[in-house]
Structure 1
Amino acid sequence: MIIRQLTAIFAISGLAAATPAIAQDTAEPQGPSAEFGETVFDGDFITIGAGAAVSPSYTGSDDYVISVLPVILGSYGGVNISPRAGGIKLDFIPDPESGVGFDLGVAARLRNNRASQIEDEVVLQYGELERAIEVGPSIGINFPAVLNPYDSISVATDVMFDINGAHGGTVVTPSISYTSPLSRGILASFSLSAEWASEDFQDYYFTSDPADFTGPAVDALPAYQVDGGGFTSFGANLLMGFDLDGDVTNGGLGLVAITGYSRLVGDAADTPFTTIRGSRDQFLGALGLTYTF
């Protein structure tokens, strides 16, 4: 579906989970064929790009760092490739020509939380953690033509497991998104999401043990033990995508801007890494450039 593919073009770092489809009222060639004509998305296509994001130094930090985000996405042989935060998703179910669509595939990501760029000098004295490699199934459903012929609401969930032996736990990330083109070259997407994590995950990132502290004892944070699995955060993101020649259907250069906010809850909010050295309020900003062919 054309609009579904346009959404992917603007989905740098996976912060927009929407994947809309176009509704067709009849079997006559009106819908996307009449509106857009021949496009770069008719068949296989690829998008490459890079972005820069300003985000917390670690989950719960009030220090912010800049990260470079490489991007690759597209469609090949009926398999859709889309970015995720720190990773990628493959969807193996071809999109329908009209009506409700379903996603079923595999998602993977590299989690760098407290593995690098720790700006807080006290938290740094607890040492850098191992990077987690998370892999698991991704499912979703897309409802097209909600308020206009080209918008959609999408509901998705990723369930991923650490296969690198870092936190060794499970992470579940449900999301819901509304996406609509504002013109032939501008697209907007608003999404709500949450993160749930198992006890192993929570213990790895949020337990505070004075025995792990390598600095002066007087600077050590209070001991803190997590209380099982649970939600770690709830958040919202707004994405705006702009084609630089005003026509996204012909490929070429595009620009994407993302702003986001999340609120830490549970052990992620109560750990002294957050309450004493950081903040429960987490903000995100990103800007990226893509090229589609």
Structure 2
Amino acid sequence: MKQNLMFIAGLCAASALTSPAAAQEAADSSSASGSETSVYDGDWLSVGVGMGYGPSYDGSDDYVAFPIPVVQGSLGGIGISPRGGGLALDFLADPKKGVGFDFGPAVQLRSNRASKIEDKVVRSLGKLDRAVEIGPSMGITVAQVFHEYDTLTFSTDIGWDVAGAHKGMVVSPALTYFTPLSRGAAVSLTASAEWGDRKFADYYYSISPAQSAVSGLAPFSAGKGFTKAGLTAIGGIDLDGNLLNGGFAIVVGGGYSRMLGDAKDTPLTSVRGSPNQWFGAIGIGYTF
């Protein structure tokens, strides 16, 4: 679940450290009234660093801590959003209100079972290579759902491994609701899932006869399908009490994910791990 946690922590920074959608809505409203300008009026960039804590691999019941860097912003009209070990670009400008569309490329590094494998039996299977997944990121955002500053976004990333690790395809849909709680605080709630093709599932969840002989785990052949689904809550507080002027902010986030299908039934999860995956993160960022 390390990969999921990195993505979620990235959303922490995207939603609360920078609050690009809702803060921009607030900025548009303020600018229209002539009362205030915002750091989000033109080009802006947010950088952050945090610490995550989650399962050592997808399906593990051993937990590890690791650092999380995050970059988020908008430069020259191109949106930049964080991903686990990567980022996504958005070439389409969002309207000030109503429905907007997102589209651009995404790239992310998947490090599942590539390091920090705490379980000695799973470690005996050998470390996996890191995958680099590249593909389109697309979404629909609805602004002002319940009030003037909230947003609801449905997004999907589709990635193909170009590094020769799993050599397959993975699809990651998500539904996120974002709303400020006050001038200096905001929260987001996200429901997400992951679907992998046969190559993806086989690489991460199958156990070959040779691996079975080494580890004592039963052989297992994993097929395509949904591998996980979960819910995440994220909250952020601007340290000077004003999300619109940038500066420093602190974010905390946590959530639960459930392994599904063959990703749940594999002995890596059912025998050596757990289908219940908990995770959390805390970080600090600066927007300018």
Corresponding residue pairs, total:
275
Alignment partner of 1:271 is 2:266: yes
Q: Which 5+ residue runs of structure 2 have no aligned equivalent? A: 1-7
Pairwise CA distance, 1:158:
0.6
Which residue of structure 2 lines up, in the alignment, with residue 249 of structure 1? 244
TM-score (norm 1): 0.89
| CA deviation after TM superposition for structure 1 residue 139, in Å | 0.6
Is the CA contact (8 Å cut-off) linking 2:12 and 2:236 kept in structure 1?
no
Q: Is the 8 A contact 1:236 1:261 kept in 2?
A: yes
Q: Matched residues in 1 for 2:139 and 2:9: separation? A: 19
Consecutive unaligned residues of structure 1, counting only runs of 5 or more, are 1-10
Map of 2:220 onto structure 1: 224
Q: Percent identity?
A: 47
Name the CA distance, whole Å, in 2 between partners of 1:16 and 1:206. Answer: 31
Paired position in structure 2 for 1:55 = 54
**Deviation at residue 23 of structure 1 after TM alignment:** 6.8
- The answer on whether the counterparts of 1:45 and 1:76 sit within 8 Å (CA) in structure 2 is yes
Deviation at 1:31, TM superposition (A): 2.3
Q: What is the rounded CA distance, in whole Å, between the counterparts of 2:164 and 2:153 in structure 1?
A: 32
Q: Within 5 A, what are the aligned runs for 1:1-293?
A: 12-14=9-11, 20=21, 31-33=29-31, 34=33, 37-212=36-211, 215=214, 219-226=215-222, 228-293=223-288
Check conservation: 2:14, 2:82, Cα contact below 8 A.
no
| 8 A contact 1:15–1:237 mirrored in 2 | no
Inter-partner Cα distance in structure 2 for 1:90 and 1:184: 28
Q: How much has 1:122 moved relative to structure 2?
A: 0.4
Q: C-alpha distance in 1, partners of 2:52/2:247?
A: 22
Q: How far is the alpha carbon of 1:225 from its aligned partner?
A: 1.0
Q: 1:38 to 1:23 in 2, by over 3 A?
A: closer
Q: How far apart are residue 191 of structure 1 and its match?
A: 0.8
Q: Could you say which structure has the higher helix fraction? A: 2
The root-mean-square deviation of aligned C-alpha atoms, in Å, is 2.1
The AA in structure 2 aligned to 1:225 is: S
For residues 201 and 104 of structure 1, the distance between their equivalents in structure 2, rounded to whole angstroms, comes to: 24
Distance 1:93 1:131 in 2: 31
- SS in structure 1 at match of 2:262: helix
Deviations 1:103-145 (A, max 9, x none): 0011111000000000000000000000000011011111111
Alpha-carbon contact 1:134-1:163 (below 8 Å) kept: yes
SS at match of 2:98: coil
